[in-house]
């Protein structure tokens, strides 16, 4: 089902694919005392992915095209260096950082564990809750299998057409490159890409700490702060979970980097791009160069193409504020050149993101929804606070209650570290001011803006990520400073805050490693054989009808993970949850489609339902399993639209269409 060897091989391939170009680009354009090895994973991921994505519509996506573009990036990286700049980033002191890189790799295993299946002694499979958000593995398989950019929509295509994919898919595009390079499955590549995204973000955290406190200790302390979780488990043990939930709303997706990397590593990758972009902006204020502007454009584009909320809305507002702050800051010399290069980078990024942006606008118009973002305070306080006061008190509670509870190790120490850096009026001041502006802006966006495009406030949850990375680095620098100065009280307070969040990190790691057992976990081990049979009978471009609610107890929310993780075939309707993210359908259309497929696979469908599936949804094949109600009352068996292609007694039936779309039944 999933091979650990394939995952490890994919991780090594990803390190070579992204760290090599990233190291060369960092040495060429990043004027910093931070060794390039810390910046290389995130920087290389952004530059190489955007370069391949930009050229893939012209030269295709294949092993040879990936290697060719990667080689061009490596050859072109030294050309980005400007003779007018100071000495570029070197790897002096890199040996000091090897322990930090090792710790970052170990911590990155925690979110990676959430993706892996857990097999018990009886052969049943348990999956961790975050696998629900990784159902987008279907997109990785779609890109890798067809090698076409922009990819077809694996979830829905009207009448069986390829359809339009509106999701910000660069992260999944990167994982698809790993599939093409190594022969891994989409599931295995997703696990590898999750590790690499978490590792790159943590290496960047270590780099921020090292920049503001050059020592071996600061990066390690920054990683400790980043790995520390919420105070909720501690508060629940002290006061009782019920009382805590009365005072403050239950936990949401607003959390630290390990939690967010477990659920949505593409948002974490986008946050790394945003932080690097602001870092580069601070450098360009005094050392503007065309090469840096090129890299800036690639970082901005990679951030947006990985996350509409982090690299789009958050960077546009918080990153824009950082640009204005840098432009207003003295000296006036070079200000015009700085703004001109920033404008050029923004224009270049706009050209690069245009395909995904236009697709998102097209699908948003088709859904006929309201504004995707509205102004509303983040919901913090629980039912113990009167509803009339909640909207007002939620504003200070976000800053004084929610952030210290969810991010205790960095909310205090990170703020102190930022203030300490700002007090130095030379050297790192401009970088500290830019990163501080980004962090404050990101937190303010989370506090006051709410996304309405989906069922969750993804903007509020994900916008904090750039601040989490930056403040983790500042926290490490601050704690290292007080340790060096032997400020025992401050050291004790920092250690206490980090330790208080450890129980939550342990809960996360344990949940990711153990998973959740369910009755459907006994069925899943047999499904690789099912989908292998489907692939033998059904061509790659044919859309398949399968029960969207099959094995729904594998996750906390119903979704057909069996299809998403294993099929490597397009669905004609993969369920309302997947359609919400991918399909250009209104809420009413999603509900009608969900009801249609539910009827058919419950066994209560009528011939008109099958005709609608064939004509309107373009279902060229169908899979009925023993877990479906249709197994005992099979509407496909008597339908003239489908013929039985293959049957495994007591397990599955595979049907293929016998008419063309548009042909009357």
Read off φ and ψ for residue 646, nearest 5 degrees.
Answer: -165, 140
Q: Which has the closest alpha carbon to 282: 230, 225, 324, 221? A: 324
pLDDT at 84: 55
pLDDT at 171: 97
Cis omega (within 30 of 0) for bond into 53: no
Q: How far apart are the first and last CA of the chain?
A: 39
Q: How far apart are CA 642 and CA 350, in angstroms?
A: 46
Question: What DSSP string runs through 237-294?
Answer: HHH-HHHHHHHBPPP-S---HHHHHHH-HHHHHHHHHHHHHHHHHHHHTTS--HHHHH
Strand partners, 656: 621, 643
648-654 CB contacts, 8 Å cutoff, 24+ apart: 648/529, 648/530, 648/533, 650/626, 651/526, 651/530, 651/625, 651/626, 652/530, 652/533, 652/623, 652/624, 652/625, 652/626, 653/623, 653/624, 653/625, 654/533, 654/534, 654/537, 654/538, 654/621, 654/622, 654/623
- Beta strand spans in 460-514 (E): none
559-563 CB contacts, 8 Å cutoff, 24+ apart: 559/132, 559/135, 561/127, 561/131, 561/132, 561/135, 561/524, 562/524, 562/527, 562/530, 562/531, 563/138, 563/531
pLDDT at 210: 94
**In angstroms, what is the C-alpha Rg of the chain?**
25
> Average pLDDT of each block of 10 consecutive residues along the chain (665 residues)?
94 96 93 87 97 95 96 94 60 80 97 95 91 95 94 92 90 98 97 98 97 93 96 94 92 94 97 98 92 97 97 97 94 90 97 92 73 91 91 94 95 94 84 97 96 86 97 96 83 89 95 92 93 95 94 87 94 91 88 94 94 94 95 93 94 88 43
pLDDT at 662: 45
pLDDT at 663: 45
Residues ≥6 apart with Cβ < 8 Å to 267:
260, 306, 307, 309, 310, 462, 465
Q: How far apart are CA 502 and CA 496, in angstroms?
A: 10
pLDDT at 378: 95
Helix (H, G, I), strand (E, B) or coil at 155: coil
Question: Which pTM does this prediction carry?
Answer: 0.95
Q: How far apart are CA 424 and CA 432, in angstroms?
A: 9
Contact (Cβ atoms closer than 8 angstroms) between residue 80 and residue 292? yes
pLDDT at 566: 95
Question: Which DSSP state fits 228?
Answer: -
Helix (H, G, I), strand (E, B) or coil at 172: helix
How many C-alpha atoms does 74 have within 13 Å on its Cβ side? Answer: 12
pLDDT at 93: 66
Helix (H, G, I), strand (E, B) or coil at 373: strand
- 537, burial (CB in 10 Å: exposed 0-12, middle 13-18, buried 19+): middle
């Amino acid at each position: 089902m999933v091979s650990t060897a394939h995952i490890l091989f994919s991780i090594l391939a990803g390190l070579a694919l992204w760290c090599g170009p990233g190291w060369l680009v960092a040495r060429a354009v990043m004027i910093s005392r931070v060794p390039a090895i810390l910046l290389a994973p995130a920087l290389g991921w952004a530059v190489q992915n955007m370069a391949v994505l930009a050229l893939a519509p012209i030269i295709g996506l294949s092993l040879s095209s990936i290697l060719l573009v990667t080689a061009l990036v490596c050859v072109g990286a030294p050309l980005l260096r400007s003779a007018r700049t100071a000495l570029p980033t070197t790897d002096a002191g890199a040996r000091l950082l090897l322990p930090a890189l090792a710790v970052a790799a170990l911590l990155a295993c925690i979110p990676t564990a959430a993706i892996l299946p857990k097999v018990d002694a009886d052969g049943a499979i348990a999956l961790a809750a975050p696998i629900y958000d990784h159902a987008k593995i279907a997109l990785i398989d779609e890109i890798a299998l067809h090698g076409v950019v922009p990819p077809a929509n694996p979830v829905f295509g009207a009448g069986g057409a390829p359809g339009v994919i509106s999701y910000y898919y660069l992260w999944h595009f990167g994982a698809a490159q790993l599939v093409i390079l190594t022969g891994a499955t989409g599931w295995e590549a997703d696990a590898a890409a999750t590790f690499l995204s978490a590792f790159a973000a943590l290496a960047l955290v270590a780099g921020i700490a090292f920049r503001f406190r050059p020592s071996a200790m600061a990066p390690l302390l920054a990683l400790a702060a980043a790995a520390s979780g919420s105070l909720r488990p501690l508060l629940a043990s002290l006061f009782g979970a019920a009382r805590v939930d009365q005072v403050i709303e239950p936990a949401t997706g607003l959390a630290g980097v390990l939690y967010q990397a477990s659920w949505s590593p593409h948002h974490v990758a986008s946050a790394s791009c945003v932080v690097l972009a602001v870092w580069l902006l601070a450098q360009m204020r005094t050392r503007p160069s065309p090469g840096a502007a090129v890299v800036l454009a690639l970082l901005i584009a990679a951030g947006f193409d990985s996350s509409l909320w982090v690299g789009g809305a958050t960077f546009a507002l918080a990153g824009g504020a950082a640009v204005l702050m840098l432009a207003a800051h003295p000296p006036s010399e070079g200000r015009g050149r700085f703004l001109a290069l920033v404008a050029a980078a923004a224009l270049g990024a706009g050209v690069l993101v245009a395909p995904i942006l236009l697709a998102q606008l097209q699908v948003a118009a088709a859904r006929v929804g309201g504004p995707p973002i509205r102004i509303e305070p983040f919901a913090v306080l629980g039912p113990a606070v009167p509803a009339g006061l909640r909207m007002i008190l939620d504003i200070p509670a976000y800053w004084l209650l929610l952030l210290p509870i969810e991010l205790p190790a960095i909310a205090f120490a990170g703020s102190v570290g930022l203030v300490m850096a700002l007090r130095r009026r030379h050297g790192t001041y401009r970088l500290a001011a830019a990163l501080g502006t980004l962090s404050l802006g990101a937190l303010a966006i989370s506090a006051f803006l709410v996304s309405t495009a989906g069922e969750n406030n993804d903007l509020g949850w994900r916008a904090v990520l750039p601040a989490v990375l930056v403040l983790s680095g500042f926290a490490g620098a601050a704690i290292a400073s007080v340790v060096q100065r032997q400020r025992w009280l401050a050291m004790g307070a920092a250690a206490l805050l980090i330790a208080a969040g450890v129980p939550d990190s342990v809960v996360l790691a344990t949940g990711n490693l153990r998973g959740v057992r369910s009755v459907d976990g006994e069925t899943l081990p047999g499904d690789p054989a099912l989908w292998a049979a489907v692939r033998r009978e059904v061509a790659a471009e044919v859309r398949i009808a399968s029960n969207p609610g099959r094995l729904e107890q594998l996750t906390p929310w119903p979704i057909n993970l069996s299809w998403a993780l294993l099929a490597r075939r397009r669905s004609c309707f993969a369920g309302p949850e997947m359609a919400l993210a991918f399909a250009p359908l209104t809420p009413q259309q999603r509900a009608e489609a969900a009801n249609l497929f539910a009827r058919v696979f419950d066994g209560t469908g009528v011939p008109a339902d099958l005709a609608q599936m064939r004509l309107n949804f373009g279902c060229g094949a169908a899979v009925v399993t023993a877990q479906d109600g249709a197994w005992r009352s099979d509407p496909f068996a008597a339908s003239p639209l489908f013929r039985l292609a293959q049957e495994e007694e007591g397990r599955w039936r595979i049907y293929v269409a016998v008419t063309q779309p548009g042909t009357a039944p």
